[in-house]
Amino acid sequence: MIENRFRHGLREGRLQVGLWCTIPGGFVAEALAGAGYDWLLFDTEHSPGDPLTVLPQLQAAAAYPVAAVVRPASNDPVLIKRFLDLGAQTLLIPYVQNEAEANLAARAMLYPPHGFRGVSALTRATRFGRIPGYYQNAADELCLIVQVETREAMERLEAIAAVEGVGALFIGPGDLAASLGHGGEPGHANVKAAVLSGIQRSVKAGKPVGLLTGDVGFAAECVAAGAAYVAIGVDVGLLTRGAESLLANFKARVAASAS
């Protein structure tokens, strides 16, 4: 079996720092795979990505010591099956509201009799039929993360965490902010307090928990509260803000030289 770096990192209790990838295709993924992050999230919920664009991202990342996490567009067993067959080992399922939805995702990850994942022997996940015993052992190297990102989900956090097959929780500050009445303000004091409380409750429940935030100070605060993994930036954000900063810096220098 191919080792799931992310799952093993959670089990070892190592802090894993990641980066969100929303630019489709393998070229940017390969450039970022060598940047030193522990994990990269290939997103298809809030990006143009789909299974055909995630495939080259997985292929690019495979050559580097970085874990690949994939977020399907929804809690859809068909999408879950497709990404698993492509070789994704860790999936982040968005907008899980309760135990039933968490259980649906968990069962979609597993072959019968424990779940209902469809069977194909000639997938990238099986190295095209070259991994003996894949059917029997695949679950040992898979990891399911479910997003708790609304008021309702946060109220049911412990119950969701207790669902068999859920490997970790993920708190989404952006959607949580909207759910709490602070849309567009993930840095609002009430939102931060809710996130920190969710982290502490997850730790108490014995479930690893993480989040995405571009506020590195808050990310460090979340780690201190017990977060096992954090993503601290988004590829397109780094590109656009970096480009804007470069231009502004250059214009300021030109203006200073002319004065």
- Residue 120, class by beta-carbon neighbours within 10 Å (0-12 exposed, 13-18 middle, 19+ buried)? exposed
**Residue 37 domain boundaries:** 5-234
pLDDT tens-digit readout, 167-190: 999 999 999 999 999 999 999 999
Assigned domain for 259 exists: no
Which residue, among 162, 184, 161, 183, has the nearest Cα to 171 in the 3D structure? 161
Position 213 scores a pLDDT of: 97
- Residue 80: CATH number of its domain: 3.20.20.60
Position 259 scores a pLDDT of: 81
Q: How far is residue 71's CA from residue 257's CA, in Å, rounded to a whole number? A: 48
pLDDT tens-digit readout, 71-103: 999 999 999 999 999 999 999 999 999 999 999
Domain count, the chain: 1
Assigned domain for 191 exists: yes
pTM of the model: 0.96
Low-confidence ranges of the chain (pLDDT < 70): none
Position 161 scores a pLDDT of: 98
Assigned domain for 44 exists: yes
Assigned domain for 105 exists: yes
Phi, psi of 91 (to 5 degrees): -120, 140
Assigned domain for 256 exists: no
Active site residues: 46
